[in-house]
Amino acid sequence: MPDPDARQPIRLAVLNDFEVVARGVAAMLAPFADRVHVVEVDCGVLVSQPVDVALYDAYAITSSGHRDLDLLTADDMVGHTVLYTWEVGPWVDEVAQDARLSGVVRKSASARELVDAVERVQAGERVVLTAETEPVDDQPRPADWPGRAEGLTPRQSEVVALITEGLSNQEIARACYLSINSVKSYIRAAYATMGVTSRSQAVLWGVDHGFRRGGRMRVLADRVPHDGS
């Protein structure tokens, strides 16, 4: 007979406009299914069922992504909204307060730390989880991203995704909360890996390698990837 006092896993939705990114985060959380249950993975759509926490991956987030955050925090089917991002700096409190976020977690955190943060949020705590050390852009992560197989780091991939969408360096800097010099450094490194020398070539490369935002897609619990499958 089930123990009525046993704690149930937190119902979690993972959202991002890129299917490979959202699925990668879900696969990363699979070993912690006794603590967080990924009930759906959404790309280009909001949640379809009540969830305790919506985890919004900020990969290649633009103004439309910020609008999605506003919709999530206003959605009665979402208990809490957590932003999952590479950058956690002085801007976070302003963004978190404006969007009424319950938490912000830096991507250099481990999967276990992410799960811990989600549990703290569900318990009613507002969490801003930063890394104790500066993240190493090319450190291996258990999640996935466009261009990973071709050798792009997560940050390089994000910049290439925004180039593919036609954003200028200045717009990319604003979207990713980077300095313009950092954006240029990521572009140079990415171009070398991609074997391109111009922005137009980079756009074509991006289109050919899955850097277009996916269409509207939802994967429910019975089809959410487990252990990278």
Domain boundaries of the chain, sorted by first residue: 10-134+214-223, 154-208
d(CA 25, CA 14) in angstroms, rounded, equals 7
Q: At what angle do helices 91-99 and 63-74 cross, to 10 degrees?
A: 50
- Give the fold, CATH level 3, of 154-208: Arc Repressor Mutant, subunit A (1.10.10)
Q: What pLDDT is attached to residue 135?
A: 46
CA distance 52 to 71: 15
Burial of 184: CB neighbours in 10 Å, binned 0-12, 13-18, 19+: middle
Region label for 164, one of left (φ > 0), alpha (ψ between -120 and 50) or beta (otherwise): alpha
In degrees and rounded to multiples of 5, residue 196 shows phi and psi of -120, 160
Give residue-wise pLDDT tens across range 6-22. Answer: 679 999 999 988 888 88
- Stated pTM of the model: 0.79
Stretches where the chain sits below pLDDT 70 are 1-6, 63-65, 88-93, 95, 99, 131-143, 214-218, 220-229
Model pLDDT for residues 200-214, shown as the tens digit of each residue: 999 999 999 988 776
CATH number for the domain running over 10-134+214-223: 3.40.50.2300
Computed from CA positions of residues 209, 56, 99, 69, in that sequence, does the dihedral angle turn out positive or negative? positive
Angle at alpha carbon of residue 23, lines to 18 and 29, rounded to 5°: 135
pLDDT (tens digit per residue) in 18-55: 888 888 999 999 999 999 999 999 887 789 999 999 99
Who contacts 199 (Cβ-Cβ below 8 Å, separation ≥6)?
163
Same fold: 10-134+214-223 with 154-208: no
Residue 115's pLDDT is 96
